[in-house]
């Protein structure tokens, strides 16, 4: 009887540990920037600066604080919210200049290549990234 009790106690402890581990696996929020649903298209014939690798353009009125679209190379584009991850409000915008973005308030700098991670300043988190898909040779779709 004592062995049965010890064996069932081991299973009970294992079960409690499993519940504790699974309960702590909540989804981690990627960004503190509020999620604002949007979708828009970019005509690369009109916005031809985005055909040149290393260039970026700002599109106001999209996302939370506007959207920066960056061309890494022809056919490879990134899109980020222009809201600084240190000063999360709609007045502190990241101003883009090619592959570098700088916050107008805290002066944090973000490298727009491959993730918009901060390179200088008090910001510790990268800019919020959005989806970009190429519809055809001359049209991008940016959305979340």
Distance in angstroms (rounded) separating the CA atoms of residues 120 and 111: 9
Q: Residue range 27-41: average pLDDT?
A: 78
CA distances from 89 to 38, 61, 86, 108, 128 (A): 18, 14, 9, 14, 13
Number of domains into which the chain is organized:
1
Residue 123's SS3 state is coil
pTM: 0.77
Structure confidence by residue, pLDDT tens digits, 85-132: 998 988 889 999 999 999 999 999 999 998 999 999 999 999 999 999
pLDDT confidence band for 38 (50 / 70 / 90) = very high
| 10-19, 59-68, 74-83: range with lowest mean pLDDT | 10-19
| 98 in a structural domain | yes
Give the domain CATH number at 108: 2.102.10.10
| 29 in a structural domain | no
| 131 in a structural domain | yes
| 20 in a structural domain | no
Nearest Cα to Cα of residue 70 among 5, 144, 132, 125: 132
| 16 in a structural domain | no
Q: Residue range 28-47: average pLDDT?
A: 86
Domain range enclosing 68: 39-143
| 28 in a structural domain | no
Distance in angstroms (rounded) separating the CA atoms of residues 121 and 109: 6
């Amino acid at each position: 009887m004592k062995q049965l009790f010890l064996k069932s106690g081991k299973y009970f402890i294992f079960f409690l540990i499993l519940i504790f581990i699974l309960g702590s696996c909540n989804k981690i929020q990627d960004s503190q920037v509020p999620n604002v649903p949007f979708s828009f298209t970019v005509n690369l014939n009109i916005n031809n600066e985005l055909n040149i690798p290393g260039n970026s353009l700002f599109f106001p009125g999209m996302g939370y604080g506007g959207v920066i679209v960056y061309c890494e190379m022809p056919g490879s584009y990134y899109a980020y919210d222009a809201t600084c991850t240190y000063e999360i409000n709609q007045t502190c915008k990241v101003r883009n200049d090619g592959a570098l973005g700088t916050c107008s308030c805290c002066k944090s700098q973000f490298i727009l290549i491959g993730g918009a991670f901060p390179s200088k300043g008090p910001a510790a988190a990268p800019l919020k990234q959005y989806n970009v898909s190429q519809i055809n040779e001359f049209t991008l779709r940016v959305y979340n």
